[in-house]
Amino acid sequence: MPELVVAFDVPSGREALAVAARLPGLRWAKLGPVLYVREGPALIREFAQRGVRIFLDLKWHDIPNTVAGAVTAARDLGVAMATVHCLGGRAMLAAAAHAAGSDLALVGVTVLTSHDGAELESVLGRGVPDIGFEAERLARIALQAGLRGIVASGHEVGFLREVLGPTPWIVVPGIRSPGEPAGDQRRTIEPAEAVRHGASHLVVGRPIIEARDPGAAYQRLVDVLD
């Protein structure tokens, strides 16, 4: 069964923990760069004491030795899942996977959900006829390097599940129910559709965090996954 990951994209650890207390049965919390820089490892430990698994989403992209050191630190801290960027290259990904071992699930970011085709072409400096094929190319590099899975938008998840098979994790951000604003996400998907197409983890932030009743919003999504 797919897992629901709540993205705590809030200004402070106090606010994150207050929202978490309103989400009964919370299993996964995603901490990104803003909250992690503000609060550091102490917030990870606090979530862990509450029995919540941490998805540390820092998208490491650096020389292999530096990324391996960061992955080791995250593993030692008890992080359950973390991101590296596939554009870091095969050597970096392999070093990260070796450092992660079996305790930390490492997933590679393929194409950001904020990118469309034109922006991706400007980043890569070449034509990109299809974002799905670009995501597949990067995904295969990540899996060959030993990563547990990938991060990809809902627009590519069905295609990627078909070509990569049933085993790799496919973590899908940009989850939006009908009528919810997309914000800065350009390639979003509805939760039921993401599940149907083979997502292993659905990352949901603002639709829960900014809801009038976060607990009710969370439960509606849990019901979709059951």
Residue matched to tokens 């698994």: 53
What local confidence, expressed as pLDDT, does residue 127 receive? 58
179 or 54: which carries more pLDDT confidence?
Answer: 54
What's the confidence (pLDDT) of residue 183? 52
Q: What is the pLDDT of residue 107?
A: 98
Query: Which parts of 78-130 fold into alpha helices (H)?
Result: 90-100, 117-124
**Token pair of 78, please?**
């008890």
Let me know: does 136 contact 165? Beta carbons within 8 Å.
no
Task: Report CA-CA distances (Å) from 11 to 14, 17, 34, 106, 211.
Answer: 9, 11, 8, 26, 16
- What residues have CB less than 8 Å from 46, skipping those under 6 apart? 13, 17
Q: What is the mean pLDDT of residues 108-123?
A: 69
AA identity, residue 182: A
Three-class SS of 32-83: CHHHHHHHCHHHHHHHHHCCCEEEEEEEECCCHHHHHHHHHHHHHHCCCEEE
pLDDT band at 1 (very low <50, low <70, confident <90, very high): confident
Nearest alpha carbon to residue 113 among 188, 26, 179, 22:
188
Q: Across residues 84-106, what is the average pLDDT?
A: 96
30 is catalytic: no
Residue corresponding to tokens 């390097």: 145
Q: What is the pLDDT of residues 100-115, one digit of tens each?
A: 999 999 999 987 666 6
Mean pLDDT of 126-132: 64
Q: Could you tell me the sign of the dihedral formed by the alpha carbons of 118, 122, 128, 133, in that order? A: negative
Marked catalytic residue, from 53, 59, 197, 201: 59
Chain mean pLDDT for the chain? 89
pLDDT at 53 over 60: yes
**pLDDT for res 4:** 96
Q: Model confidence over 179-222: pLDDT tens digits?
A: 555 454 555 688 989 999 999 999 999 899 999 999 999 999 99
Radius of gyration of the chain (CA): 17
